[in-house]
Amino acid sequence: MKKILAATAVTALLLISIGCSSTKPNTTPSASSPSKAEITIGTEGTYAPFTFHDKAGKLTGFDVETTEEVCKRIGMTPRFVETKWDGMIAGLDAKRYDMVANEVAVRPDRLEKYDMSTPYIVSRAVLVVHANNTNIKTLDDLKGKKVGQSLDSNYRKIAEEHGATNTVVEGFNQAIDLLTSGRIDATLNDSLSYLDLKKQRPELPIKTVYEEPSATSNAFLFRKGSTDLVSKVNKALTDMKSDGTLVQISQKWFNADVTK
């Protein structure tokens, strides 16, 4: 009887031991472990060469590639959410995404309401007119003229400050279509976008008549209070500038260093 009781006790101990070992957390990473944290990014997807789709349909561009490299360095998986520019900042307010990567100009009014990263690209505004236009040569010549600009564009404000009447467009390409068809007189946009457009469509009857002397800094946009995320992004951008990665991406898309 004692032998039976002893055997039963041993069996019970073994079962307890097996049960405990089967519920012990597995600390060894496996293929089924959760993926790294996701970060959502608002972008246009129609604004070459910053954010657009290539011939294969893949989202690409300077801002996209820069963002992907930043995410890689901060250990997060990027998920781009494409939206029209005029509703992009509202989408950030509505928490549809965590940040915006779309060549967003650093402006005092934006810094009051949002957090922004350190600048990663600088640009200059150019005034674009039809190739046959001889009346517009400076911003002051926009008084009483029609321009085509996005509603929330910094360029719209510049044009209207100089007396222009704005026709709201969804992007640079639409503005160029209106310009070449004679429905507007001019449009303001980024010099890099203009050069890229002329490279892709050299037959367009357009020209630049003015280039802004001072450069505009552009950065990633975040909701106010995103201190930890902004700090990580800034660290990644600093490292990318130091090791030459950011310049390499710039050279790939513009054949020039547009980071400073």
Q: What residues contact 91, with CB distance under 8 A and at least 6 apart?
A: 42, 81, 83, 97
- Residue entry with tokens 């005034």: 127
Structure confidence by residue, pLDDT tens digits, 102-122 = 999 999 999 999 999 999 999
Q: What residues contact 129, with CB distance under 8 A and at least 6 apart?
A: 136, 179, 185, 186, 206, 207, 208, 209
Beta bridge partners of 219: 104
* pLDDT given for residue 190 in this prediction: 84
Homologous superfamily of 38-121+218-254 in CATH? Periplasmic binding protein-like II (3.40.190.10)
Regarding predicted confidence, which is higher, 69 or 34? 69
Query: What whole-number distance in Å separates Cα of residue 68 and Cα of residue 242?
Result: 17
Structure token digits, residue 41: 């990014």
Structure confidence by residue, pLDDT tens digits, 161-187 = 999 999 999 889 999 999 999 999 999
Homologous superfamily of 125-211 in CATH? Periplasmic binding protein-like II (3.40.190.10)
Give the chain's count of helices (H) and strands (E). Answer: 9, 13
* pLDDT given for residue 258 in this prediction: 87
Render 118-162 in DSSP notation, one character per residue: ---EEE-EEEEEETT--S--SGGGGTT-EEEE-TT-HHHHHHHHT
Structure confidence by residue, pLDDT tens digits, 76-93 = 999 999 999 989 999 999
Render 10-49 in DSSP notation, one character per residue: HHHHHHHHHHHHHHS---S--TTSPPPPEEEEEE-S-BTT
Around Cβ 26, how many Cβ atoms within 10 Å? 8
Work out the end-to-end distance of the chain between its first and last CA atoms, rounded to an integer number of angstroms. 88
| Residue spans in the chain of domains classed CATH 3.40.190.10 | 38-121+218-254, 125-211
State pTM to two decimals: 0.65
Residue type for position 204: L
- Confidence band for 35, pLDDT divided at 50, 70 and 90: low
| Overall average pLDDT of the 60-86 stretch | 97
Q: What residues contact 86, with CB distance under 8 A and at least 6 apart?
A: 150, 151, 152, 168, 170
